[in-house]
Amino acid sequence: MEPILQVKKISKVFPGVNALTDVSADFYPGEVHTLVGENGAGKSTLIKIISGVYIPTGGQIFLNGKEMNFQNPRQALDEGISVIHQELSIANDLTIAENIFLGAEPRKKNGLLDRKKMNKEAQDVLDFMALDLKSAALARDLNAAQQQMVEIAKVITKKSKVVVMDEPTSSLSEHEINALFKQIRILKENKVAIIYITHRLKELKEICERVTILRDGCHIKTMLVKDTSEEEIVTSMVGREIGNYYNKKGHTKGKEMLRVEGLTRKKEFYDISFSACAGEILGVSGLVGAGRTEVMEAIFGAARLDSGKIYVEGREVLFASPREAIAHNIGLVTEDRRRTGLMLNAMIKENIALPSLIRHKRKLGFLDKKWEEAVCKEYMDKLRIKAPGMDTILNTLSGGNQQKVILAKWMIAESKILILDEPTRGIDVNAKSEFYTLMNAFVEKGGCIIMVSSELPEIIGVSDRVIVMREGRISGELSREEATEQRIIQLASIHSETE
């Protein structure tokens, strides 16, 4: 079989960094070829070169045996290379159909937009993908998972020869992932070559044929998935053996830190009651859209409650804004760190110190820059944040390091209750493992963590106790021993015809 796309000895040098050095790989039609590697290994750079976003400093790209010199993404797109980015490019104020056909709208003979045809074709694709969505709905009303599906629908309609998927599953729940894989299999049958990036290694066995491992911008090896094991891949990725991945430890449960009773916000969640203790990681599982994020935002004061009571360390509280929650030592690590977690164009130290500046201000409201720099240095060391310095702009850090910055931010803010919403989404294995260690350390010192996660192995591997949500309600609570993938899926699933 001939490869459809070949990259040969590709290099990319940024000022001061060799992002890629002599990377070669072949991509075959009808195959899913996964790129794995830690953040910063060069996966993103490689796909940006393939899709014309970056121009390589060295090497060649061949498509169907012909050398390509992409100067911009448009040229790559015209040659049939589509990309589904991790950060979705959905226009919020357009309908789903308009998004799917953006830039390639069907026209009537007189040149006017053929809205009827567009809506119908878009609906066909959505139905084909077995999605319960209306093509005329506004993209604004979709959640992250649904927007991702629209992106995939977009690529399907473009009939691309090569599709690059950058962590398509990172924001999807188990059952949405299955739907996605169904689509990928159909693409495979149609001889599309798929370049796939993921941090979820268990997906490899399920969907991929070939895997290429990158480390520090270099090609380590390419293997057939059927000839390898998860352990071998992980070892090649990090260059050493990883022991206890989740670093799971039993914790000593302390006093009750947070208790909520009957929290209700109409159309989002109803009658939510649970408690979380010091020295405990409480896992919150459920499908995307089950209302987990909304509950956490309401507890943090970022959304209003219709009814219900919140107690922090036994005292009833009512937060009108996040400011008040922070004053009660609660911290929230949001689900979408790029949009709601970080100031991407600001420095590490500016991000880290933000919620604590008020507490540490000097006379007349002056900034305590000495404190800021000292604490920033302390936590960069403690959390092993890899960056040239505390003045580094967040945008240039890897996902794992960005997430550590957010964690540092709340630790500095003296949070005792940390709410983590999908904390390890899109960060690599090594960084995840480190992150779990940090979580454990925090809990051991008497902190309380509430972790929302869609990844079952993570929930099971990390939590001391698990509550499961389904359609805005708590459908069950499992102790550490009871929590198995099967039990959680049972509690989380919607028992209806759609399943």
Partner 1 sequence: MNNKVKHWLSKNVVVVVLIVLCMAFGMANKIFFTSKNLINLTSQMSINALLATGLTYVIILGGIDISVGSVAALSGIVSAVAGLQFPDMSVFTAIIILVMSGIVIGGACGAINGLMITKFNVVPMITTLAMMTIARGLSYVVTGGQPVYGLANNFAWLGAGRIIKPASEPNGMIPVLTIFTAVIVFFMHMLLSKTVFGRHVYAVGSNRTVAHLSGIHVNKVVLVSYILCGITAGLGGICIASKLQNGQPSAGDGYEMYAIAATVLGGTSLIGGSGSVGRAMFGCAIIAVINNGMNLMQISSYWQKVVIGSIILFAVILDMSQKKNTK
Judge contact between 403 and 430, C-beta under 8 A. Answer: no
| Residue 367 is a binding residue for partner 1 (CB under 8 A) | yes
Edge-to-edge strand list for the sheet holding 17-27: 66-68, 58-63, 5-14, 17-27, 218-224, 210-215, 32-36, 193-197, 162-166, 81-84
Residues 287-326 that bind partner 1 (CB under 8 A): 300, 302, 321-323, 325-326
As a whole number of angstroms, the distance between CA 309 and CA 230 comes to: 45
The residues with which 21 forms a beta bridge, in sequence order, are 218
Q: Does 365 help bind partner 1 (rule: CB under 8 A)? A: yes
For position 361 contacting partner 1 by CB under 8 A, the verdict is yes
The encoded tokens of residue 191 equal 């001889």
Shortest approach of partner 1 to residue 366 CB, angstroms? Answer: 5
Verify binding: residue 12, partner 1, rule CB under 8 A.
no
Closest to partner 1 by CB, 191 or 369: 369
Minimum Å distance from CB 437 to partner 1? 25
Please name the residue ranges forming H helices in 79-167: 96-100, 115-128, 144-158
Find out whether 221 and 22 touch, Cβ atoms under 8 Å. Answer: no
Which of 1, 250, 364, 498 touches partner 1 (CB under 8 A)? 364
Of the residues 154, 292, 404, 409, which one makes contact with partner 1 according to CB under 8 A: 409
Alpha-carbon gap, residue 435 to 220, rounded angstroms: 25
Per DSSP, the three-state class of 130 is coil
Q: How many residues interact with partner 1 (rule CB under 8 A)?
A: 33
Instruction: Report which of 52, 38, 36, 42 is spatially closest to residue 13, judged by C-alpha positions.
Output: 42
Measured from the CB atom, the residue of 410 and 435 that comes closer to partner 1 is 410
- Token digits of residue 143: 């959640």
Task: Find the binder of partner 1 among 19, 342, 420, 466 (CB under 8 A).
Answer: 342
Query: Of 285 and 334, which CB lies nearer to partner 1 in the complex structure?
Result: 334
Residue 370 found at the interface with partner 1 (CB under 8 A): no
Q: Is 327 in the site for partner 1 (CB under 8 A)?
A: yes
Question: Under rule CB under 8 A, which residues in 455-484 are in contact with partner 1?
Answer: none
Contact 86, 427 (CB under 8 A): no
CB 224 within 8 A of CB 209: yes
| Closer residue to partner 1, CB minimum distance, 97 or 406 | 406
Rg (CA), the chain: 24
User: Does residue 412 belong to the site contacting partner 1 (CB under 8 A)?
Assistant: no
Positions that interact with partner 1 (CB under 8 A): 300, 302, 321-323, 325-327, 332, 334, 339-346, 350, 353-355, 357-358, 361, 364-367, 369, 395, 409, 413
